[in-house]
Amino acid sequence: MRFSEKAPAKINLVLDTLYKRADGYHEVEMVMTTVDLADRIELTPLREDEIIIASESHFVPCDERNLAYQAAQLMKNKYHIREGVEIFIEKQIPVAAGLAGGSSDAAAVLRGLNKMWELNIPLDELAAMGAAIGSDVSFCVYSGTALATGRGEKIQALPSPPACWVVLAKPAIGVSTKTIYQSLNIEEINHPDVSVMTAALHNGDYEQMCASIGNVLEPVTTKLHPEVEQIKEHMKEFGADAVLMSGSGPTVFGLTQQETRAQRIYNGLRGYCDEVYIVRMLGSRTPLD
Ligand SMILES: C[C@](O)(CO)[C@H](O)COP(=O)(O)OP(=O)(O)OC[C@H]1O[C@@H](n2ccc(N)nc2=O)[C@H](O)[C@@H]1O
Ligand SMILES: Nc1ncnc2c1ncn2[C@@H]1O[C@H](COP(=O)(O)OP(=O)(O)OP(=O)(O)O)[C@@H](O)[C@H]1O
């Protein structure tokens, strides 16, 4: 029997870094939310004790470098599973885009194998395991909307954001998260106020949410890739209420509550970017199979 699991992308409504830790990671405070642009993961049990990765995408590695492979390996080792699995990844989320595509695939594999191998591992334990694969994986295990602290792996659920449209635009470049964090100068940071964003979500206040978005990695990526700023400017011109780069970039998102305006932003951006999407926020935690 095959198991199918949805792996949605995330955007960072707020991304703040507090300091660089002794282990090289940055202590962060982030508000993250999932959107309905998703990869689909299909798991097929194998009698042989092996992990096979397959994908039609030319941008993802089909070996142990794939985060989905690492998730399966982790489950097998931790729970002494002697069976194998074939993991098919139907890629919809742009790669190296700041949308946590690889992390979400890994999280979907953890959730899917939990069902396929009937392990009954609680979600909190899967999320804790996911942190060993990457800082965004714990959030992706839960999906929904959350405050993420630590290096990103400590997750507290938040209310769904007020209903709105999200236009995503990804310039034709990939960005390495490591490079961006390494180029961040902590002394120069203009910190966003995470508590204003969490209050906006608790109050269901769209204007306050728009006013409190912020990402300290944005100036770093923009300096290396000026097209991020150009896309931001275009999104504003076409009428987005708030515009921000997601994660380490380079994808930019724009918010609006009007469908016609979302369409206008989308049409306008198509002239500058090949990869543009109109999506909705998924809101709170939802079953993803
Ligand atoms: C930029 C974000 O996507 C925002 O959600 C995340 O902070 C990054 O999450 P991720 O891609 O899962 O990142 P990881 O695979 O854990 O780390 C990649 C690299 O980014 C840097 N990194 C990551 C997370 C963090 N809190 N501090 C860091 O300095 C480290 O150099 C690390 O080697
Ligand atoms: N399943 C996967 N999907 C996409 N990329 C993967 C996957 N597994 C490994 N990778 C590798 O991970 C790198 C980052 O890809 P990914 O799409 O996850 O970046 P990202 O969206 O910027 O992540 P984040 O927002 O978590 O920093 C790519 O260089 C890619 O080769």
CB 209 within 8 A of CB 197: yes
26 touches ligand 1 (CB under 6 Å): yes
Contact by Cβ (8 Å): 216, 16:
yes
d(C-alpha 239, C-alpha 256), whole Å: 8
Is 136 in the active site? Answer: yes
User: Mapped to the 3 state alphabet, what secondary structure does 187-230 carry?
Assistant: HHCCCCCHHHHHHHHHHCCHHHHHHCCEECCHHHHHHHCCHHHH
User: What are the tokens at 232?
Assistant: 């931001």
Q: How far apart are CA 104 and CA 136, in angstroms?
A: 8
Q: Give me the pLDDT at residue 171, please.
A: 95
Please give the pLDDT value at position 285. 65
pLDDT of residue 289: 58
Q: 84-90 and 26-46 as β-strands: parallel, antiparallel, unpaired?
A: antiparallel
**What is the chain's pLDDT, residue by residue, as a tens digit (289 residues)?**
889 999 999 999 999 999 999 999 999 999 999 999 999 999 999 999 999 999 999 999 999 999 999 999 999 999 999 999 999 999 999 999 999 999 999 999 999 999 999 999 999 999 999 999 999 999 999 999 999 999 999 999 999 999 999 999 999 998 899 999 999 999 989 999 999 999 999 999 999 999 999 999 999 999 999 999 999 999 999 999 999 999 999 999 999 999 999 999 999 999 889 899 999 998 876 666 5
Q: Considering the chain, what is the average pLDDT of its residues?
A: 96
Q: Could you tell me the distance, in angstroms and rounded to a whole number, from the CA of residue 190 to the centre of ligand 2?
A: 27
User: CB count, 10 Å around CB of 95?
Assistant: 14
165-280 topology per CATH: Alpha-Beta Plaits (3.30.70)
Q: What is the pTM of this model?
A: 0.97
In the chain, where the domains are located: 3-157, 165-280
Closest ligand to residue 32's CA: 1
For a substitution probing ligand 2, which of 59, 67, 170, 224 has the most ligand atoms within 8 Å of its CB? 67
CATH class for the domain made up of 3-157:
alpha beta
Say if residue 122 carries a ligand binding annotation.
no
CA 235 to chain centre: 21
Say whether 6 is catalytic: no
